[in-house]
Amino acid sequence: MMKIVADMDVPFLQGVFEPYAEVVYKEGRLISRADVMDADVLIIRTRTRCGEELLEGTEVKMIATATIGLDHIDMDYCTRKGILVHNAEGCNAGGVMQYVFSALYGVAARKFVKLDGCTIGIIGAGHVGSRVESMAEYLGFNVLKCDPPRAAAEGPEGFCSLEYLLANSHVVTMHVPLDETTRGMADENFFTLMKPGSIFINASRGEVVKESALMEAMPKFGGVIIDTWCNEPDVNEELIEMVDIATPHIAGYSFQGKQNGTAATVQAVAHRFGIEPLYEFFPETDMEGHEPILLDLRGKNQGEIAAVFQYNYPIFTDDFRFRMEPGKFEKIRTEYQYRREIYVD
């Protein structure tokens, strides 16, 4: 019988594979080489670092992460060892989009910033960035996009340079993966190029920002919103005190996003190992009270839009809880009550 070692906090997973495999659940950050020596599959989140230290000499054939990002997995090592890696691309895009606009309109309301006619610059136009783009256009923002890989593949039309985006955007929001091209990209020069009074949002990965540079540049901003941090869970508490909204890496924590992530993970493992009953798996849960919410924001002014966003996701509650207990970063994430996603026609 195949063996699966799984992060105990992957939602909706327990009981799914038990008819077909031996399943061992552990706290993600505590999964060790001893745990996975005879495992065929790892089902993880970002808290399990997968590289030679964990995997060398094991029987692991596949790693399935219920997350968008892959920066916690040594892809070069896995390629050399023939370990298949699968991520849940786009699973939480709707949740992050909701976070961005709840945060943006919330900060603008608190600081009396008018958003009419503003330009939003999206750095990284993948699954998440594209959802942010769609909502921004629906709300009447001008949109700039910087995504060199997409521009190279599709042609430059519709994209701009990073320098142009920073100099011409009133809001800059980060949605890039963490890799050698993006680590530390938001540095001293990056923040120097941004417009005075602009709003900066990072809901991608903490390490794309040089935090010392951000702290130095803080006086020039109209607002700063941070969901992802360097050195999680041991985050920079001084920076928490400086920003307008601080949350513990929960931007994508929507009910639908978690369903999507687990579904993609289970289906990938099922197809790899021929578990046909799970080929089309989707978590069976009581959807009452969890359905995505259709919004009609046409014709509403900025204050009305802000009120709708805050009603559906009162983001300052998350901010307040995190500020009170920043040392409980992981506990807050583990106990988080998933919110319902929003969408518009």
Question: Mapping DSSP to helix (H, G, I), strand (E, B) and coil, where does residue 119 land?
Answer: strand
Cis before 283? omega within 30: no
Asked whether 7 and 43 are in contact (CB, 8 A), the reply is yes
Asked whether 121 and 173 are in contact (CB, 8 A), the reply is yes
Amino acid in position 69: G
Residue with tokens 């300052």: 316
Give the integer Cα–Cα distance in Å for 259 and 270: 16
Clarify whether 205 is annotated catalytic: yes
- Sign of the torsion angle spanned by Cα atoms 204, 206, 210, 211: positive
Question: Mapping DSSP to helix (H, G, I), strand (E, B) and coil, where does residue 120 land?
Answer: strand
- The one catalytic residue among 22, 232, 321, 323: 232
Clarify whether 232 is annotated catalytic: yes
Q: How many Cβ atoms sit within 10 Å of the Cβ of residue 103?
A: 28
Tokens representing 302?
């900025």
H helix intervals, 69-224:
75-81, 93-111, 127-138, 148-154, 162-168, 188-193, 211-217
Clarify whether 249 is annotated catalytic: yes
- The one catalytic residue among 86, 249, 333, 340: 249
- The one catalytic residue among 205, 333, 339, 340: 205
Sorted by sequence, the CB contacts under 8 Å of residue 265 that are 6+ apart come out as 10, 13, 43, 64, 65, 66, 86, 88
- Catalytic positions are 205, 232, 249
